[in-house]
Structure 1
Amino acid sequence: MDHSKHVRLSDIELTEHNLKGATVYGANNEKVGTVAHLHGVGRSARVVIDVGGFLGFGAKSVAVSASELDIMRDESGTVHAVTTWTKDQLKDMPEHTD
């Protein structure tokens, strides 16, 4: 997927309403997770990503700062995020619990 023409979300658009369920892509455009929910809004929000699992079962939740993700909307309006982390690197992060 070519992200070069996708529109970056502004700070005020970084809300759970816009991000929940968004796909997170890592190296080589591999799907590495899905946004489960947010704590806060804007670039300072903590984004909780479900990594691994199948259909929501067996996934590990990790939290990262929204500022560490490139969050954008594609031509069809679908919100997604891009990171330099691999799925294995995310799985190695401490598990997030609410």
Structure 2
Amino acid sequence: MSATPIQIPTHQDDPQWIIIWPIDELLPIAILSGVGLLFEQLTICFLIGIGIAKAYKYAKSSRHNGFVLHWLYAHGLALSRSKTMQNTYFRKFIPR
């Protein structure tokens, strides 16, 4: 095992951490583990959750900040009704 240092959050807008995992990476594992318990498929759902968490971690670390939220918004899966995120298909921006 290689000892890689753990990144401790240093900014106010960094995600919350639970022990050594950021909450946004731990959430898919926890949710899918709960679903797996309900449907008696804990191992399969746990492994799928780990796969999703690893894919999310790769996407988050290899791209700029806010990439995942902007990708979700561009594909119609906006997580908020914020007026600060403009429609990606607008060609001109006219301030109000």
User: Shorter chain as normaliser: what TM range?
Assistant: under 0.3
Larger Rg: 2
Higher helix proportion (structure 1 or 2): 2
Higher strand proportion (structure 1 or 2): 1
Bigger RCO (CA 8 Å, 6+ sep): 1
The normalised TM-score by structure 2 is 0.27
